[in-house]
Amino acid sequence: MSSSPPDRIIAFAALVQAAQLVDDIAQGRPVDSHDLRPLLASIFATDPTDMQSIYGDITDL
C-alpha cells in the first residue's frame, strides 16, 4: 500500500476523529455509532490494499 499525501491525509483525518471520539466518551457526551464504524473496522483490516479497504467510504471520516 502506498503512503501518498492523500493517503496520509485520510489517515490523519481518522486519527483526529478517533481523538475527538475518545474526548467525547471521556467527557460523558453521546457518541454516534455511525462515527465509530469506520474506525472500528480499520482495526480488523489486516491486509489492506488501499485506504478504502481500511476505512470504507472516506466521507464517513
3-class DSSP string for the chain: CCCCHHHHHHHHHHHHHHHHHHHHHHCCCCCCHHHHHHHHHHHCCCCCCCHHHHHCCHHHC
What does the alpha-carbon distance between residue 51 and residue 6 come to, in Å, rounded to a whole number?
A: 9
Domain of residue 56, residue span? 5-60
Please give the Cα distance from 52 to 10 (Å, whole number). Answer: 10
Q: How many domains does the chain contain in total?
A: 1
pTM: 0.79
Q: Determine the pLDDT at residue 24.
A: 96
The pLDDT value given to residue 23: 97
Q: Is the pLDDT of residue 1 over 80?
A: no
Q: What is the pLDDT of residue 53?
A: 86
